[in-house]
A and B are shown apart, each in its own frame.
Chain A
Amino acid sequence: MDPKRDGEFQERKMHELGVVKHVMKTLEDVAKENKVTRVASVTLQIGEVSGVVHEQLLDCWNWYADRTVLFKGSDLKIETMPAVTYCENCKQEYETVKHGRTCPFCGSEDTYLLTGNQFEIKEIDAVTLD
């Protein structure tokens, strides 16, 4: 796998490249532990404000996966997880994407993200030796 030498790949997105690398590394360990010979599909749970561009991620995944034995032809499924913000001032939670940093209940900016920028590998469907 040497994307550096592939001119077409040079245009691919830097951030999604790193993400794909980390996912594959984790799954290589899972594959070893479970005697997996081929991965049929990977399900990711990605927070809606994580900043990952799904299309680019899929692009990167397909490009990389094709060049491996373990992941070739595998399906990448993405479940989008909702983003929730907590207001320190009125102690309520609200939808991050709708309202941003400003609490819709009390107007305070004293808020922080509770969940929504996570990137998790949920599960894989795989062909195993036994």
Chain B
Amino acid sequence: MAVKTIEVKESITASNDRDAEKLREDLKEKGVFLINLMSSPGSGKTTLLLRTIKDLKDKLSIGVIEADIASDVDAVKIQSAGAKSIQIHTDGMCHVDAGMTEESLRELGTDGLELIILENIGNLICPAEFDTGARRNVMILSVPEGDDKPLKYPLMFSKSDVLIVTKIDTVSVFDFDFEKLKERVKRLNPDIKVFELSAKTGEGMEPWENWILSEMESFRKERCMNWA
């Protein structure tokens, strides 16, 4: 028996990064397209999901992992909309990591599912720091929240592949400058795709849904090329 100093020299996210990369590979092999959906609470993640499922369920088999600290309100709604869904509770944790995502996928069962959406905990800070193993990160900012959020929460905006601006039907009631928002976001993340829509009225839903379909098409092509 000995007492010794062991050098670790690892970032706190290193272990999770490894798990996430492995999960991404596994999902690619299975042909499952995973989206990590993030935003602050109340911005409209679930409403957007419900509308997206309603519009796409005849084209794709969709599964949803609902992550919350408590309650199963969301999972029940999603199930009624026509997607296979499970509710996970994160034991007080403020974000979902790759390990939790993997467990949840096992619980959900990925057989027969083409698109799975992980609705992450409503939180603009922590989810951005932990890779879930998703193929794409999508975040939502609703009009009532304001166009200055990229200044206050830069990491979330820089880590997302897509920004969906929701609740555009409320724009007459709020001071929201779309051009200023886009400028702020593009400064942080020049490659981010921005969609503006209302899940309530349906306005702008098509470009978002077409993006999903074309991303999945590229995903399928990539897999075929890997086998060739």
The B interface, classified by DSSP as helix, strand, loop or mixed, is: mixed
CA distance A40 to B6 in the complex (A): 11
26 contacts across the A-B interface (CB closer than 8 A) = A12-B92, A14-B92, A15-B125, A15-B126, A18-B94, A18-B126, A22-B97, A22-B130, A26-B8, A26-B10, A26-B12, A26-B14, A30-B8, A36-B6, A40-B3, A119-B11, A121-B11, A122-B8, A123-B8, A123-B9, A124-B5, A125-B3, A125-B5, A127-B1, A129-B1, A130-B2
| Nearest CB in chain A: distance from B32 CB, A | 25
| Nearest CB in chain A: distance from B164 CB, A | 25
Determine if B91 is an interface residue (Cβ-Cβ < 8 Å).
yes
Find chain A residues with CB under 8 A from B92 CB: 3-4, 9-10, 12, 14, 17
Most chain B beta-carbon neighbours within 10 Å: one of A19, A23, A26, A124: A26
Residues of A bordering B, CB below 8 Å = 2-4, 9-10, 12, 14-15, 17-19, 21-23, 25-27, 29-30, 34, 36-37, 40, 118-130
Residues of B bordering A, CB below 8 Å = 1-16, 91-95, 97, 99, 125-126, 130
Find chain B residues with CB under 8 A from A126 CB: 3-6
CA distance A125 to B11 in the complex (A): 18
CA distance A124 to B4 in the complex (A): 8
| Nearest CB in chain B: distance from A19 CB, A | 6
Which of B3, B7, B8, B95 meets A127, CB within 8 Å? B3
Contact A18–B95 (Cβ < 8 Å): yes
Contact A17–B93 (Cβ < 8 Å): yes
Which residue of A is nearest B95, CB measured? Answer: A18
Count contacts between A and B, CB distance < 8 Å: 90
Which residue of A is nearest B13, CB measured? Answer: A22
CA distance A30 to B92 in the complex (A): 26
Find chain B residues with CB under 8 A from A40 CB: 3
CA distance A123 to B3 in the complex (A): 13
Which of A29, A123, A128 meets B1, CB within 8 Å? A128
CA distance A19 to B1 in the complex (A): 30
| Nearest CB in chain A: distance from B113 CB, A | 28
| Nearest CB in chain A: distance from B161 CB, A | 21
Known: A10-B92, A126-B4, A127-B1. A121 touches B16 (CB 8 A): no
Find chain A residues with CB under 8 A from B14 CB: 26
Find chain B residues with CB under 8 A from A119 CB: 11-13
CA distance A72 to B4 in the complex (A): 17
Which of B2, B6, B15, B94 meets A22, CB within 8 Å? B15
